[in-house]
Structure 1
Amino acid sequence: MDFKSSDTLTNGAITGPSERDVLPDTAAAAVKVVIVGGFGVGKTTMVGSVSEIRPLTTEETMTQAGIGVDDNYGSETKTATTVAMDFGRISISEELVLYLFGTPGQERFWFLWNGLFEGALGAVVLIDTRRLEVSFDVIGRLEERGVPFIIAVNDFPDAPRHPVDALRTALDLDSHVPIVHCDARRRISSKDTLMTLMRYLHALAAARA
């Protein structure tokens, strides 16, 4: 695959990575963040919209082999799915860089999650209010691993709207876990979501200190 982070040939000469793909010299800290959620909630879209480098994706065409195995309710028009991970990068400041790892959403690929959760400072749980039930296992796995997370409601046009308190009750969340609304297609909205996670992680660290 020809990603921007790979060396490329121009008239027979290796040009190397583009300038924007090189990690800034001012970067002092890099943090791993996972974007997690059920199938079709927008994880690949979020990583792609916010990444400052061309994201690495592992999407494969969906086939009839998945019929009866994969739950694609609400995503019936989806033709590809992540089978390993998505990867992107965003600089929050001159010193802080986030490495973003999007997890596969189909349950048969969840065995990959443990490796993706390893070393993660925090997580964004993307949810689709049309299918809240698929978020229960996602949240449970994060809690088992002790990975702090926030909830981001990806506002699909035909999805029902619920008050934050009702969502908190339905998802059985502690009162301190942030819940935000986002549009995973928009860079500014996705970045705002990540900033909410960073502020939450900072508050948790301050509380421990």
Structure 2
Amino acid sequence: MDYGISDEAVGPRSEDALPSSASSAVKVVIVGGFGVGKTTLVRSVSEIRPLTTEETMTQAGEGVDDIYGVEQKVHTTVAMDFGRISLNEELVLYLFGTPGQQRFWFLWNGLFKGALGAVVLVDTRRLEVSFDVIGRLEEAGVPFVVAVNSFPASPSYPVKELRDALDLPEAVPILMCDVRQRNSSRDVLVTLMQYLRSLVLSPEATT
């Protein structure tokens, strides 16, 4: 199978080396349904050349993958995306983007192992695909925040309506983002770190 591994990920560069000041490294998974922007987030925010495993979509996925709302999508992640970002001089996040189609979800358990937290990307045109995603994280005990990615044709809903629809506790952050913009993607990750810190300080916040 011909995987579309990013050409930029071939060969090490000195600027990709981990900063000598880094003292803490955290694994974060980026999850969500098909075509919600997981690969775009990793690419936009990573300070190193991201590793992607994209394959051209073929007729093999017809009738299997739900492409409603993303009919123009021509590539899909089949294993994972990987990137890295330093939130400050000491804290480094390793980002693992999961494949979106349900037929590749068997890979998720391995990607969840060792993850401190997760970002659930949501497209309001296809909110229902997030239900199983959130359920899998809750079963695995991985804390998460929800980031609503901005698409031109996506309807906008108040946060309370989204929280009710996703059946989320008040403590779980929900924020809007545009994963094409580095600052926006970085803000999502910062929110996740702040949420994880709040859980350490006040564990009862999960209920």
TM class by shorter chain equals: over 0.9
3-state DSSP class of the match of 1:84?
Answer: strand
Residue 188 (structure 2) pairs with residue 193 (structure 1): yes
Residue 179 (structure 2) pairs with residue 179 (structure 1): no
CA offsets 1:75-120 (integer angstroms, 9 cap, x no match) = 1000010000000000001100000000000000000000000000
Aligned to 2:111: 116
Aligned to 1:203: 198
Aligned to 2:36: 41
Q: How does 1:53-132 map to 2 (within 5 A)?
A: 53-132=48-127
2:36 maps to a residue whose letter is V
Q: Retained in 2: the 8 A contact 1:20–1:52?
A: no
Change (3 A) 1:65 1:2: closer
Change (3 A) 1:208 1:176: closer
Alignment gaps of 5+ in structure 2: none
3-state DSSP class of the match of 2:196?
Answer: helix
Q: Could you tell me how far apart the structure 2 residues matched to 1:26 and 1:73 are? A: 45
Change (3 A) 1:168 1:208: closer
Aligned match for 2:134, one of 114, 128, 139 = 139
- TM-score, normalised by the number of residues in structure 2: 0.94
Residue 143 (structure 2) pairs with residue 170 (structure 1): no
RMSD (Å), alpha carbons? 1.4
Residue 155 (structure 2) pairs with residue 154 (structure 1): no
Larger radius of gyration: 1
Moved over 2 A (4+): 1-7
How many angstroms does 1:6 deviate by?
4.7
Aligned to 1:32: 27
Percent identity between the aligned chains?
71
How many angstroms does 1:19 deviate by?
2.5
How many angstroms does 1:67 deviate by?
0.5
Q: Retained in 1: the 8 A contact 2:6–2:51?
A: no
Q: Retained in 2: the 8 A contact 1:3–1:54?
A: no
Question: How many residues get paired?
Answer: 200
Q: Could you tell me how far apart the structure 1 residues matched to 2:26 and 2:6 are? A: 25
CA offsets 1:45-71 (integer angstroms, 9 cap, x no match) = 000000001100000000011110000
Q: Could you tell me how far apart the structure 1 residues matched to 2:35 and 2:197 are? A: 30
Q: Retained in 2: the 8 A contact 1:150–1:197?
A: yes
